[in-house]
Structure formats: C-alpha cells, structure tokens
Structure 1
C-alpha cells in the first residue's frame, strides 16, 4: 500500500508518493508555487496551484503498477494564507501570500476592538498583519459584491478540492488569529468583535483525520482509487517535526525553507505576559494533545534567493560559491561584516513589518563571496538571537538543534550555525520532511500504521562548533550585531510613530 503527502510551500509545492511498509519515498513531483504579480507584490495563483497538484498526483501515481493501492492523500501547507469562498464556493478576491502586509489597517481595526494583550491571551499569538483574520477582513472589504461563506487555509482548501468536504485543522486554525488556544475552538469573542460570523470557519478535525474520499472525477483523472482517504495534515513546520521525531519538550527543531523557525513541543500553551512581550507564538501541534512554541524569521532561504538575484547567479553558481567558501575554511573565519536579514520585516523578539535589512561592514574590497559570507553570518546571528529568547523564556538550554529543510543541503551554512550558535547541529537529510510527515499523519489517521519509521543513522549528519572561532563570533555578535539590531529597531519604531 502507498500514501501520498502534499506540501504546499511558499516557493515550491511537492507531491510525494511513499510505500507505507517503511515510508520509503517512491516518487516526487515538484513545481514552483505559481504566483500572480499585483500592486502589493504577488498573490498565489490558486488556479495554477490546483492544476499543478492534480498533475502531480497523476505523475506520481504512474510510478507504481497498482495505483489503486494508494490509500491516503494528506496535505500540509504554509500557515496564515488561505482562500475565502462565497456560497457557491467561488474564490473571493486574491489569495494573499502569508507575508503580505497590505492588511495592516485591518490589524489596527482588530486591535482597536479587542486589544493586543487580550488577543494574545485568547489566541496565544501576537497581533500581526500576517494572520488569516486580517486577510479575511481585507477581502470582505474589497469584495463587496460577494457574500463570504467560508474560509479555508491552503491545505484545507486543497483537501476540500480533493474530497468536496470542508474541514479545518487545529495547527492551521491556531495561525488564523480567530482560534481560542485554551478552549480548543473558534473564538466567538473575536468573531463578534470584528463582525464576522463564526460559521465562516469550518468544523475542526485532528491532523490526519480523514475528511472524505477522493472525488470520482479526480480518481478518473489521476488513476488513484476512489476510496483513497483525504486528510489535512496541518502547518508545514509542525508536520515536518513529526517526520523527524520531534515529540518531546527536551528537543528543539530548526525548520528551514523560505523562512526558518524554531519549534518546541509544549504540554500546554504558554500565553503569559513574558511570552507576549517577546512576540513568540503558541500553536496547536499536529499531535492532538500537544502544543508548540514556534517563532519564524521571515527571511532565511529568501535571503539566499535575494542574494542570488542580486548577483544574477544560477543555482550551480551559488552552489559553487558556497563550496568554495567551505573549502577555504570561511565557515570558521569571523569577520565584522553581516546582514541583519530583515528583508520582509523582523521576527521575534522585536517583530515588526516595518523592519528593514541592514548591511554592515561593506568596504571597497567587498566582493560577492564576502557579501555572501555576510548574508550567512547575519542569518546565523538572527537565529542565535531567537534561540536565546527561547532559552530565557523557558529556562531551558538546548545543547543540540535538529535541522530540516533547505539548509541541510548546505554544509557551509550548517557549520556556521554550529559555530555561531555554539551548539551541536544535527542535519536531518531525509528528502522532503514535510511531505513525509504528511504521508505519515494521513496513514495513521486512516488506520494504516507504517512499519519502522525511525530515522536511519546515515540520514543524520552532525556538526560541532569550532571553539576558537565561536569565541570570536561571540564578540562580533555581542558587541556589534546586537547593538546595531537594537538601534535599528528603535529608529524604525520611531519613524513609524511619526
């Protein structure tokens, strides 16, 4: 038997077919997440995305001689982004990316009705324009000729198109700003305060729970059995954590992609004043009785993409450049140059959409290789700042971080993480962790328990900090990076108030 895991990402979408016995990846189809240019930047092209997923299902199904034995399809996606539908299930307005900032006026309206601290107390997440509720209010305001009937986050929408059944999943619900994290339900208080019907949100199901079966027309188009169970596996970072076994509070995951974040498993939400002041997010885990502490840095892989475009580098050129830096020993060579990578605003503990990137240490001799070093140094300093925030809040210290995602293909970045964070880095080199987690959750939810899904030792690569270099990086971090960070954020906040 087989299971399919779908990962709807910011940059790429992946449709992956696994043999259930040992959760072995049989076939992967990947395509660039289609977007449309707009006056605000870009929106998801939801029609193109859907066609890409159907095509991907068809392609992976041909990899096996018995596609009727594909028993589950489960979908993970980015958080915050979603689709507003009218009573006839027509898409209302644009499908905004999760990082879209046009909704700042809607956030200000929400805060004026409820208050930031009360919002955090209810939802466990800090007020921010990224969250779904802001997008819903913007769409209602700008689509006056249509009456909204339902909101579905991205994975929920794809699952709806596959099965015809609308359901919401807990980990995605907890990224909407309309979910009560302590009561485990949609917040009547928030919906009432902003004048939207609570019925806009679908009934909640646990990650991996079947919501229906594959529609007949899709079975015919893809060759996959009509009886295949469809489910929502949830928020991509949480889904990826399941794939690599991050299930206990003693562990911490660094999930990397377009963004990168730190995820810790909690037994209950931590929506106290101290956590609120640091702007870290509580959420529901995809594991039903667990919660998460999660914070995202908006630019990680995106900063690398930005650098590549800036210098017009092809992927092979970029790979060659990082390999050259690694061979040169540059991963252990501190410099005073770095980028504060606030290209799409800043993450915790000073989270704001008004933050801008800042390059420090540029000289007349700065070449593309030195510039790239500065980008990577800055990404690692930013991650260290977030890690220290976590440890200050929780009282824990994590001597080792597990890494999944794009960074695992870049030994230079991994060695820098180890040295600048002064921790062991364990790179989990399993392909497509999010799709794997989605397939695992979907299979279990449908009653199919895979065999041994523990990670093989050869999939884990360990990086240790260089002690001497760590001391020198620490000086730059403490004496320059943190000082410039605080000054920059202060100036930006002052400018925003004027």
Structure 2
C-alpha cells in the first residue's frame, strides 16, 4: 500500500455473484480507486477465499486503507456451518433444482397465499427453506450438525470478523423469515427440523455487523477493527448505487440473472392470479421492494455462446458483441425467443417452462439468432416491468439499467426500443460492489453525495415496431399454455 495514513476517505465493497466475485475500493463520491474480479468458485471455501483475495488486492492497490467494508452477494446461495464456523459440505446454490418436490410440498401444506403473506415469496426449489427440507430427507447428518446457516455474504463476514450474522434482505430470501415481524418464522423452520437459533442473527444494513480481526488484518491489509457492514442482496445493493433508494424509482439489474426492482411503501396484497413477484425489506429500513426475476439473462447468452461461438475464440463476449452489432440497423428479426432456460419465475410462474425459438426461417443467419436471444430477453423484462406497474400502481418515468451486460450496445439499444419508458444505462462501476461500499459508508456516517444517478449513456427511444413485435408475437407465445403448437405470424 503506497503513501501514509492520510489521504482521501475510501470505502471497500465485495459482491459474491453467481458467475463472478468482485471487489472494489472507492472514494466517497463513488469514483473507483481499485477494482478486481474473478470467477466465483463452486465450493464454500473457494468462494470465501476468492472474496478475501480480491479484497486484499484492492486494499493493496489503494493509497490509504478503506474506513469500512460492505459485503453483498447473490441471495439464496449459502451453506450450513458447524459449531466452529466451518462450512459443512457443498454450497446449496440457488440454481439447484433438486428441492422441487419439497417446494411443491410447501405450497400444499402451508398454502401459497399464507406463505406469501408471511414471507413475501412464492414456494420455489431455489429457496433455502425448500433445500433444508430436502437435506432433512436426504442428508440428515448435515441438518443435525448445522449450528448456523450462512448466505454467501455471511460466509465472508464470518471469515473477516468472526461474527456470524446476516442482513434483512438476505434473511428475507430464505423462505423462513416473516417480513412484517422482521423475525424468523419458527413454524416454517419446523418443517425442516430447524430452530430460529440455527439462523444467523439479523443486523440492519445501517449498522456495523462486525470488525476485522487481527488475523484478517494481516491477510487483507485492512486495519484490525475496520467496521464491516452487510449490504445484503446484491441486486438491491446495485440499485442503491444506481440511485434507486426508495419508492418512486425502478431498477433493472443485469447479470447472469436479471431482476426488475421497484421499492414500495408497503407490502401489496397478493393478486388472485400468480405473478411471481416477490416482496421483501428494502435497504432504507423503511420500505419494501418488489422483485421480479429472470434466472437466465447473461446465463442464456452464455448458453448460446457455448454452442455457437468459434471453439478457438479468445474472447467470446467480444465476438458476440461484434456479431450482433452488425445487425444494429435491422428491424426486429421476426424470431421470437421464449428465454426460459431454467423455467419462468415471473410474471406467470411456470418452473418447467422451457427455452424455445419460434419463427426461424431459411434466410435467418447466425447474427439473427444471437440478436433474437437479446430480443426475447428484453421483451421478457418488459413483461416483468408491466406486471410490477400493475401491482404497485406506479409507472416509473425511467428505468435505471446496470450490470455487466450493459457493455453490449446492441443489447442496450434493443432494451431501450422495447421498454415502454426511457432507459437510463449507468456506467459499469455503478454496481453492487459500489453499492456495498456506499452502504458501509452510510453505516458509519460517511456521506456519498447525491443519490441521483449520473447522466445516462445515450440510448434509443421506445420504437413502435418493437411494440408491435412485443404485443403480437411475444406475449401470445409467452402466455400460451402450449407454445410449441402456437400459430406463428410470418
């Protein structure tokens, strides 16, 4: 670390994401000082160690030590910890669908409406509660040995500070947390044979969750005693960095998965027709947040690239960006992609819905197929947004869009043309890592400047041609009970 002890006030953030783990050090105004990224390992120990390594690299590259660290992560992925705080077995990942029967059992025994009323969630195989029930049936020894549950960010907190705790936004994604009482629901935990004392204590996002231990100070370069804050669910932390900090604004958080997020003042009633919208506490400690998820956004692009990119391609993302970039001036392809690689969570939940391409014709080329994937993803996200507007009664003036996929200009042009309101594309560093750092600063009283997002990158306006494609092709196929047999418009 260069320099002395005096210098700018710096804040550090970590985001353990589905595909990548990222760390960064920032000035209080959000200017990046050092940023690092690596693939997220599939095991708990590797995940924890990668986060610590990236944090140490950023601290080493900073002119002075950060005054606080914020931790964010993917929501439902975690691991049981033993009495010594060590992980027991493999990570239980949100993409793991082994607990689908347990999720169905939850829906039948608890009831979908009562479950939503308590948790703000819908029974799903990705919920930790469903996977805990699965563990009780298939690996009871892990359940018996579990002293605490730890989400991904909690695991890093435990390593840095020796404290096992979680944030309200991560607790709320377990499926066993009452979002009105802001407490674990013992009746739901009982279904998995667990007790509330096996859950991590909940620490508010505006409070310090722990402090860096001397051993971790040596390992990371952070001063011993540095406060560490649980920023929680990474999609929400990214929304915070984008200036979406309370009711009245909407965010579109893009990554391997994609989420539309709308803060609201109160929990809305569950509609008669399932929408797949979940609701949980927001980061301000007062509001709630509607969340609609698409489990395969960047993940679907990865799937496509694994099958169509040249095998010797050194940078598949650059190749794909150039490929679809050649189609910039073309109208909609006429191909309708239903982008459900891992089922559909929202607006009309169908967990077993599959990926499908409709309307492919002999004249279509590889660029058209790649572009059609982006079209389908953008139309699905528009449908998610419209569902949230119907639920909240509020139509945003614009949607703040952020995340790695924003680096693809063709994807952003399609999104801007498809969406019914203007799209504000934020700089790449306006991410969950920055949001985690800003939330750490907030907890210790460091102001991060105005909450308004920075000026947007130029983007296209909504386009009537895309409106027609959305209304006449995408929605009829997406809402059809048998899309493979649907009539296709030439």
Fold conserved between structures, TM > 0.5: yes
Give 1:18's match in structure 2, choosing from 6, 26, 33: 26
With over 3 angstroms needed to count, the CA separation of the structure-2 counterparts of 1:254 and 1:489, relative to structure 1, is farther
1:152-196 CA distance string (max 9 Å, x none): 211112111111111121111111111111211111232234432
Show the counterpart of 2:41. 34
Whether 1:120 aligns to 2:113 is no
TM-score where L is the length of structure 2: 0.91
Show the counterpart of 2:166. 168
Q: Residues 29 and 56 of structure 1 are in contact (CA less than 8 Å); yes or no, is this contact kept in structure 2?
A: yes
- SS of 2:68 mapped into structure 1: strand
The size of the alignment, in residue pairs, is: 473
TM-score where L is the length of structure 1: 0.89
- SS of 2:33 mapped into structure 1: strand
Q: Please, which runs of 5 or more residues in structure 1 have no aligned partner? A: 36-44, 493-498
With over 3 angstroms needed to count, the CA separation of the structure-2 counterparts of 1:242 and 1:288, relative to structure 1, is same
Which is worse superposed, 315-324 or 180-189?
Answer: 315-324
Q: Residues 9 and 78 of structure 1 are in contact (CA less than 8 Å); yes or no, is this contact kept in structure 2?
A: yes
Q: Give 1:452 shift.
A: 5.5
Q: Give 1:65 shift.
A: 4.2
Whether 1:292 aligns to 2:289 is yes
Show the counterpart of 1:479. 472
With over 3 angstroms needed to count, the CA separation of the structure-2 counterparts of 1:353 and 1:64, relative to structure 1, is same
Show the counterpart of 1:207. 205
Show the counterpart of 1:135. 131
Q: Give 1:120 shift.
A: 0.8
Q: Please, which runs of 5 or more residues in structure 2 have no aligned partner? A: 1-8, 486-490
Whether 1:329 aligns to 2:328 is yes
Q: Give 1:131 shift.
A: 0.9
Q: Residues 268 and 392 of structure 2 are in contact (CA less than 8 Å); yes or no, is this contact kept in structure 1?
A: no
1:330-359 CA distance string (max 9 Å, x none): 4x5123202111001112122232111011
Show the counterpart of 1:496. none
Show the counterpart of 1:349. 347
Give 1:340's match in structure 2, choosing from 332, 338, 341: 338
Q: Within 2, Cα distance between the matches of 1:422 and 1:444?
A: 34
Q: Give 1:320 shift.
A: 4.6
Which is worse superposed, 132-141 or 9-18?
Answer: 132-141
Whether 1:8 aligns to 2:7 is no
Q: Give 1:23 shift.
A: 3.0
Q: Residues 116 and 126 of structure 1 are in contact (CA less than 8 Å); yes or no, is this contact kept in structure 2?
A: yes
Show the counterpart of 2:92. 96
Q: Give 1:143 shift.
A: 3.2
- SS of 1:57 mapped into structure 2: helix
1:400-429 CA distance string (max 9 Å, x none): 211011232122111111212243111011
Q: Within 2, Cα distance between the matches of 1:73 and 1:427?
A: 26
Q: Within 2, Cα distance between the matches of 1:142 and 1:85?
A: 18
With over 3 angstroms needed to count, the CA separation of the structure-2 counterparts of 1:55 and 1:293, relative to structure 1, is same
Matches within 5 A, 1:302-313: 302-313=299-310
Q: Within 1, Cα distance between the matches of 2:299 and 2:237?
A: 21
Q: Residues 133 and 191 of structure 2 are in contact (CA less than 8 Å); yes or no, is this contact kept in structure 1?
A: no
Q: Give 1:327 shift.
A: 5.2
Give 2:359's match in structure 1, choosing from 348, 361, 373: 361
- SS of 2:67 mapped into structure 1: strand
Q: Give 1:218 shift.
A: 1.2
With over 3 angstroms needed to count, the CA separation of the structure-2 counterparts of 1:240 and 1:315, relative to structure 1, is farther
- SS of 1:366 mapped into structure 2: coil
Whether 1:448 aligns to 2:446 is yes
Q: Within 2, Cα distance between the matches of 1:356 and 1:177?
A: 25
Q: Residues 416 and 423 of structure 2 are in contact (CA less than 8 Å); yes or no, is this contact kept in structure 1?
A: yes
- SS of 1:95 mapped into structure 2: coil
Give 1:372's match in structure 2, choosing from 370, 373, 377: 370
Structure with more of its chain in strand, by fraction: 1
- SS of 1:231 mapped into structure 2: strand
Q: Within 2, Cα distance between the matches of 1:320 and 1:88?
A: 47
RMSD between aligned residues: 2.2
Show the counterpart of 1:184. 182
Q: Give 1:393 shift.
A: 2.1
Show the counterpart of 1:436. 434
Which is worse superposed, 279-288 or 104-113?
Answer: 104-113
